[in-house]
Structure 1
Amino acid sequence: MNLVQLGKLHENVLDAGCEPNRNARYLASLGYKVVGIDISERAISKAIDKTSSEKSNVNFNQRDFSRLNEFKGHFDTVIDIGCFHSILNSDHEPYTASLSHICHSDSSVFLRAFSETNKSRYRRWQGHKRYSLALKRNNVKKLSL
């Protein structure tokens, strides 16, 4: 069962770390207004090339995730599938503060990352508690980890 089938997604969606852009394109094809953001210029260029022939409701942006000020309170849903656990520990707090800034009080944030159940990878990444606390501190109430 996916988030769409469960009715968990809402109109304005941010796909954080959108490479390979499947999720952004899929959600746009269902009518969601999607912004796909990735720090990699190459990833965004590939995403734009893939969607150039499609009538799509997705906008791809090459951005540093910790600097998303122009989107203040814009997103109803944030999907992070592998972005947070791939950034440096020193960037966790700016990233979560930025996400808190672009969400509103009824926003939902969905994070898929390494967990305690995957012991081999968990030692390399233990930021999920900081992520959760930072978002809750900034009034993002719905959080699925």
Structure 2
Amino acid sequence: MSDSDKPFDYAAADFNSVYTGGELLEGAAIKVVPWDIGEAQPDVVELEQKGRFSGAVLDIGCGPGDNAVFLAGRGHRVTAIDAASAAVDQARERAAAAGLEIEFAVADATDLAGYEGRFDSVLDSALFHTLPGPARPLYAAALHRVTRPGAQLSVLCFADVPGGMPAPLSVPGEELRATLTEAGWEITLMELSEYAGVAVGMEKFFERTGQRPRLDDKGRTRLPVWKVFAERVSG
């Protein structure tokens, strides 16, 4: 098997490197941040309009910060966390440029020690599917620990459906539902939606994985995601 035929080692993805001009995946030639569209995700805008965020809001896996900046700009009290320090640095710069106060931190999403019982709302915009399988239950449990009873969780997660991202970056609906339910989250809505991403610089990755994502009128990729609403169950 030639190098061009080998599957990518997603477990070795370097999320910190890609924010500083490095490569996200060896052999994928990805030197752009694929999820950095320079504005909040369209679904996040819609979620805010639907009242999914109130009280203390956690943006977990905040990336370059555009979702957090949008939510703070709408008057929400936001804490934004990412495991990649370079992402948090960029997010801080964008918040400062917008004149907004957001609490940023570098932290492990599967732990979140020190944040117990703090949040009323959580946004996961494309974090769940980046975690290796064994880490996903730990992550869902950590979110339960850091939220208050009745907290609302909104998740956008690459969906294991035709036209979607390759496994393990796409998640079967049954796995997502079971993981959240077992961690104390009651799912109130689960439906397919689309996630906007960067097309330029992703050509080699899509060629190797056989993907032909739909492009929108802004030239951005539109990939299928599960849009999940869940409510924290006490306990």
TM-score range, shorter chain: 0.7 to 0.9
Match of 1:35 in 2: 79
Letter aligned with residue 61 of structure 1: A
Tell me if 1:21 matches 2:65: yes
Letter aligned with residue 132 of structure 2: L
Match of 1:107 in 2: 151
| Secondary structure of the structure 1 residue equivalent to 2:46 | coil
- 1:31 touches 1:57 (CA, 8 Å); kept in 2? no
Pairwise CA distance, 1:119: 5.9
Pairwise CA distance, 1:71: 1.2
Match of 2:176 in 1: 128
Pairwise CA distance, 1:55: 3.1
Match of 1:2 in 2: 46
Cα gap change, 1:6 to 1:44, in 2 (>3 Å) = same
Where does structure 2 lack aligned partners over 5 or more consecutive residues?
Answer: 1-44, 190-227, 229-235
Aligned residues: 142
Cα gap change, 1:118 to 1:111, in 2 (>3 Å) = farther
Match of 1:66 in 2: 110
Pairwise CA distance, 1:16: 0.9
**Structure number with higher helix proportion:** 1
- 1:110 touches 1:143 (CA, 8 Å); kept in 2? no
Normalising by structure 2, we get a TM-score of: 0.55
Match of 1:52 among 96, 117, 120: 96
Structure 1: 4+ residue segments shifted above 3 A: 116-123, 140-144
Letter aligned with residue 13 of structure 1: V
Deviates more, 1:121-130 or 1:99-108: 121-130
> CA offsets per residue over residues 72-122 of structure 1, 9 Å max, x none?
111111000110111111211211111010111110001111224446437
Cα gap change, 1:34 to 1:113, in 2 (>3 Å) = same
- 1:28 touches 1:34 (CA, 8 Å); kept in 2? yes
| Secondary structure of the structure 1 residue equivalent to 2:99 | coil
Pairwise CA distance, 1:49: 1.9
Pairwise CA distance, 1:142: 5.9
Q: How does 1:134-145 map to 2 (within 5 A)?
A: 134-136=182-184, 140-141=185-186, 144=189, 145=228
- What CA distance in whole angstroms lies between the structure 2 residues aligned with 1:30 and 1:61? 21
- 2:110 touches 2:139 (CA, 8 Å); kept in 1? yes
Identity of aligned residues (%): 23
Deviates more, 1:61-70 or 1:117-126: 117-126
Task: State which structure, 1 or 2, has the greater radius of gyration over its C-alpha atoms.
Answer: 2
Where does structure 1 lack aligned partners over 5 or more consecutive residues?
Answer: none
- What CA distance in whole angstroms lies between the structure 2 residues aligned with 1:6 and 1:32? 14
Pairwise CA distance, 1:58: 1.0
Tell me if 1:77 matches 2:125: no
> CA offsets per residue over residues 28-54 of structure 1, 9 Å max, x none?
111111011110011011111222344
- What CA distance in whole angstroms lies between the structure 2 residues aligned with 1:53 and 1:117? 38
